[in-house]
Structure 1
Amino acid sequence: MLEFIAANSFARLIFLFLLFGLVVFTAAYLSSAATKRSRLKAQLQSIGGSSDRQGRPMLEVRRDSAWSRLADQIEKAGLNLSDSNADDLKQKLLAAGYTSPAAPRLFVLARLIMIFVLPILYLFYSTLSAEPLSFFRMYVVPGMLAVLGMYLPNLIVSAKADRRREAMTNGFPDCLDLILVCVEAGLGLESAMDRVGREMVHSHPLVARLLLITTLQLRAGSARDDALRKMGTSSGVDEIRSFATLLIQSDKLGTSVADTLRVYAAEMREKRRMRAEEKAHRLPVLISIPLVICMLPTMIGVLMIPGVVRVVRVMLPAMSGG
């Protein structure tokens, strides 16, 4: 069997694909098990109240410190991991949920690794095949993979930021309703945000974490204006920025916070309903694309087959004089 695989290039290719699939499946299974275990530990520690001053679980703090030490060791070895647009990169990573101070340096390190690893893996795979390396396989394809490795982390971070922004946008109206109920019940704004943040840990964890961080900043002595501005900036969502600006203006002008929350909560619910209607109205247009590509040629073929058969059986013999 091994001799047949070594002698036949097609069998060797199939064996390599199966081996690659087995390795990927094993790695994905182990990663999923480790992720579930770490998530369970984080939930238990968050329920037990083991958090640092910024409201983050201790497991996440230890992970961030480990990544920070790795980045420090790499920079001590002589590799500079700083980016030319450090502020923009930091804002992009914050919007994606990467709050570690070492996140920009690790992002640059990931880009460097992807630039070199993807072409090296492709060249290693090409050397195992029996076909000789051509100019296209030797230079063009590795160059394209290097460009892909340079932009792939940006695409991943952008996709995660979009998902995080969508989750916060969808969960924020419920948060406003609960804050409104707490304020009308007699709680202050800080106490209401703290109460809602603790209640929404499992339903909307991103919004809950944002509220808890803002509450801890207020308790640490930060001004309400600065804490609310930081909340809007760190969220990366326009609706939350508008909400923070609205609370700041309401606080300065002395208007009722309950009325402000009631009006803005109704507006947020209306925007969420309009987004749902927009997605529903886009469905016919999106469905028409596979309909035209897949079903329309089949229907045309079914309708034309009887005419084609009649032409072949009757008209062509009549035209040839048969």
Structure 2
Amino acid sequence: MTFDQSLFADNALYYVAAFAVVLLMSGGVGFLMLRDRSAMRMRGIAAQRSGPEARSLARTASTAPRGLARALIPDDPSEIAQIQFQLAKVGFHHANAVQHFFMVRLLLAVLPPLLVFGGFALARAGLLPQDMAQVVLDFPRLGLMQIAAVTAAAGFYGPSYLLKSRIKARQQRIRNAFPNALDLLQISVEAGMGLDSAMSRVGSEIHKVSPEIAYELLTLQNEVSAGRDRETAMFDMAERMGVDEAKSFALVIVQSLEFGTSLTSALRTYAAEMREYRELAAQEKANRLPVQMSVVMSFLMLPALFLITLTPIIIRYTAIY
């Protein structure tokens, strides 16, 4: 079998496109799979030993995004904090994990069209098996464009949708369990325990019912024990939770400690407000139910009503003509 230089020169562009697709695929797989955990631990140790000013609990500061990453990352700090927390839960603890997430999302949006058109180029160049190349070449061009567009949209919006759905589900679990955790915290403080020991106790007791709140309370205590300012740690915990109840709770605790008021009285008042708020939320949900049911019933009943009303007319019309 001899090497045909003219054939290679004619198909050089297709070879380059196929090589680019292979490089993009290998780079994406390498970014997702090869994470240097030893380097992450070394960065954490360096952050702990960098002096009194480093009170971020082994978390390096995130650098400001530049260029394309700046245009992709949202401006809402609460949303960024939630995304960073969810990425940390799946193993991405890097300071720039949010930027990497959005860059990977962009890569997933660009890669499917490259694969589609790269496969078409390989089929045109004769580098695919005969049967596969025939299927690709016989496929309509409009169909290829539609597949590329749909997969690009799925790659771009899919990771964000899945991550946001997990964030919303976590926030809902926190809202449901937060009044109970606050009641336990109030009982612990009224029993004579300090705020730190009460939070640690509640975090240890509630981990089976609400692991999200237990994680946040124990993380807060670890940060305070490591020397971080309590006010900053409280508001960071509320920011990670992403619910208004946690932000109000942090504000109540900080103001009570700052002005020297009774922490027991503040917790008792806020716990009563949380119970009332939970009852009002349940009533609001119950009041919305009839409206939602009426919409569903109308969609289910109207076709049957139209069918019952119009069927005799259609039968009579067909019998006459």
Tell me the TM-score normalized by structure 1. Answer: 0.64
**Backbone CA RMSD of aligned residues:** 3.3
Equivalent AA in structure 2 for residue 211 of structure 1:
L
**Aligned counterparts of 2:116 and 2:172: Cα–Cα separation in 1:** 36
**Aligned counterparts of 1:149 and 1:251: Cα–Cα separation in 2:** 48
Match of 2:301?
295
**Aligned counterparts of 1:168 and 1:308: Cα–Cα separation in 2:** 56
SS of 2:209's partner is coil
Deviations 1:27-46 (A, max 9, x none): xxxxxxxxxxxxxxxxxxxx
Q: Please, which moves more after superposition, 143-152 or 304-313? A: 304-313
After TM superposition, give the deviation of residue 226 of structure 1 in Å.
Answer: 2.2
Structure 2: which 5+ residue stretches go unaligned? 1-34, 42-65, 121-131
From 37, 43, 47, the equivalent of 1:65 is 37
Q: Which has the higher contact order (CA 8 A, sep 6+)?
A: 2
Match status 1:91 vs 2:74: no
**Aligned counterparts of 1:230 and 1:105: Cα–Cα separation in 2:** 20
Equivalent AA in structure 1 for residue 217 of structure 2:
L
**Aligned counterparts of 2:233 and 2:100: Cα–Cα separation in 1:** 28
Match of 1:114?
108
Deviations 1:72-111 (A, max 9, x none): xxxxxxxx99932487574241354636433325413531
Deviations 1:95-153 (A, max 9, x none): 54636433325413531442245446667699674883334223344134213311222
Q: Please, which moves more after superposition, 267-276 or 280-289? A: 280-289
Structure 1: which 5+ residue stretches go unaligned? 1-62, 70-79, 318-322
Equivalent AA in structure 1 for residue 237 of structure 2:
M
Give the paired residue count: 243
From 91, 98, 106, the equivalent of 1:104 is 98
Match of 1:75?
none
Match of 1:216?
222
**Aligned counterparts of 2:176 and 2:36: Cα–Cα separation in 1:** 28
The answer as to whether partners of 1:95 and 1:235 remain within 8 angstroms in 2 is no
The answer as to whether partners of 2:116 and 2:144 remain within 8 angstroms in 1 is no
Matches within 5 A, 1:131-280: 132-280=138-286
Task: Provide closer, same or farther for how the CA distance between residues 190 and 263 of structure 1 changes in structure 2, counting only shifts above 3 A.
Answer: same
The percent identity for this pair of structures is 33
After TM superposition, give the deviation of residue 177 of structure 1 in Å.
Answer: 0.1
Task: Provide closer, same or farther for how the CA distance between residues 219 and 66 of structure 1 changes in structure 2, counting only shifts above 3 A.
Answer: closer
Match of 1:320?
none
